């Protein structure tokens, strides 16, 4: 085996980052997908997990994942890494993914690289840092490389794999059950995709003056997630969970549309690796145009409705 990938899942569906990690893992060699599930939950996920390019699937069952969260997940992955000796363990970059990765790296004395946007067959990674001002190439020199990769960094091919499936059960030692999760309240979800997973993100900033309706209308026509600058979230115009940037979420979609956002370095840090960036801003000198592939100098309240009107007329 060459690469282990952690396949995220929630509410019976598998995150698309699993297919992306598998596509990266394939460059290294055979790919084993790992599902960390509650007992009995794994069978229902096998088909969805097989839409990634995986050669084998390990379903690790434990009631500890629900009650002891990251502690249990990191311990289970640590055992697998020690047992299987992969060349790399790939995990989607999220705050949870990075915490799990860090714990596994410490426990297995492995090198770790977080927020990579690319990895090659020799485990050399690429990171985009300081708001995209620098591109860093780095490699882990330990036998196992623990790497977290930003979602949407690759267009995963659509495949149907027929992996061998292995089930194992896992449980924490009593002494490791120091922290127990007593209650989890899932955030109320709208119909839009999750920000960090979305292929398209339409974001609004201070230029919206608090009116996100045109931003949301365009997002819905494009099947996009809605993001916001910190100026917009600090003003209470949009929830902080939608903030993009240094102190918000990092997104790397195929298309990022910035509406009424100046393009401060802290905002760019969270979106600069997007494949195509479109900016709509009434100030032609706004720094967002420095990173935009396409720009419209104009009032977003005039531009967005026209764009939405055109898109609505598209043949489906
Ligand atoms: C430690 C630290 C961390 C930070 N983290 C983040 C972060 O995670 N994310 C983040 O976004 N920011 C972050 N910031 C804040 C950042 O520095 C900027 O203040 C913020 O990004 C500005 O948001 P904005 O572009 O919406 O507002 P502004 O900078 O005020 O820009 C508004 C833009 O809208 C344009 N505009 C106005 N009206 C219209 C209109 N009708 N049509 C079209 N354009 C219009 C203006 O020309 C202007 O360019 C951080 C700052 C610090 C110090």
Query: Per-residue pLDDT for 189 more than 80?
Result: no
pTM confidence score? 0.76
Q: What is the pLDDT of residue 34?
A: 97
Task: From the CA of 286, give the closest atom in ligand 1.
Answer: 49
Q: What is the dihedral of CA 198, 134, 154, 140, to 10 degrees?
A: -120
Q: Please determine, looking at this structure, whether the domain spanning 200-312 carries the CATH number 3.30.420.40.
A: no
Backbone φ/ψ region at 243: left (φ over 0), alpha (ψ -120 to 50), beta: beta
Q: What is the pLDDT of residue 13?
A: 87
CB distance 151 to 116 below 8 Å:
no
Q: Residue 125's beta-bridge partner residues?
A: 119, 138
Three-class SS state of 199: coil
Q: What share of the chain is helix, strand, coil (3-state, %, to 5)?
A: 30, 25, 40
User: Which CATH architecture group holds 3-176?
Assistant: 3-Layer(aba) Sandwich (3.40)
HSE-CB for 181 with a 13 A CA cutoff: 13
Percent with pLDDT over 70 in the chain: 98
Domain boundaries, the chain: 3-176, 200-312
Q: Compute, in angstroms, the gap from residue 264 CA to the centroid of ligand 1.
A: 6
The per-residue pLDDT for range 133-173, each reduced to its tens digit, is 789 999 999 999 999 999 888 988 889 999 999 999 999 99
Write the residue with the smallest CA distance to atom 51 of ligand 1.
266
Task: From the CA of 288, give the closest atom in ligand 1.
Answer: 49
Report which secondary-structure segment, H or E, holds 107.
Answer: helix 95-108
Beta carbon of 268 within 6 Å of any ligand 1 atom: no
Choose one of 231, 270, 288, 305 to mutate for the ligand 1 pocket test, by most ligand atoms within 8 angstroms of C-beta: 231
């Amino acid at each position: 085996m060459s690469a282990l990938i952690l396949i995220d899942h929630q509410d019976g569906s598998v995150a698309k980052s699993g297919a992306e990690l598998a596509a990266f893992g394939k460059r290294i060699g055979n790919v084993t997908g790992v599902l960390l599930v509650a007992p009995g939950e794994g069978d229902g996920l096998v088909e969805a997990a097989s839409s990634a390019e995986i050669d084998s699937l390990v379903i690790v069952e434990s009631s500890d994942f629900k009650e002891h969260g990251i502690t249990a997940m990191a311990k289970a992955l640590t055992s697998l890494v020690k047992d299987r000796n992969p060349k790399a363990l790939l995990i989607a970059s999220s705050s949870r993914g990075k915490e799990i990765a860090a714990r596994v790296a410490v426990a297995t004395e492995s090198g770790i690289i977080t927020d990579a946007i690319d990895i090659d067959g020799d485990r050399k990674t690429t990171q985009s840092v300081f708001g995209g001002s620098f591109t860093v190439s780095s490699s882990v020199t330990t036998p196992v490389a623990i790497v977290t990769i930003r979602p949407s960094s690759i267009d995963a091919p659509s495949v149907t794999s027929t992996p061998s499936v292995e089930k194992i059960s896992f449980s924490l030692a009593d002494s490791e059950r120091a922290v127990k999760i007593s209650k989890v309240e899932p955030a109320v979800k709208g119909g839009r995709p999750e920000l960090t997973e979305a292929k398209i993100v339409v974001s609004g900033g201070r230029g919206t003056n608090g009116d996100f309706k045109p931003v949301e209308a365009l997002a819905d026509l494009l099947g996009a997630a809605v993001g916001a600058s910190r100026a917009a979230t600090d003003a209470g115009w949009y929830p902080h969970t939608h903030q993009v940037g240094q102190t918000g979420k990092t997104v790397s979609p195929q298309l990022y549309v910035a509406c009424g956002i100046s393009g401060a370095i802290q905002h760019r840090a969270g979106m600069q690796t997007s494949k195509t960036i479109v900016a709509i801003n009434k100030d032609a000198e706004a720094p967002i145009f420095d990173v935009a592939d396409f720009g419209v100098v104009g009032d977003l309240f005039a531009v967005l409705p026209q764009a939405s009107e055109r898109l609505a007329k598209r043949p489906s």
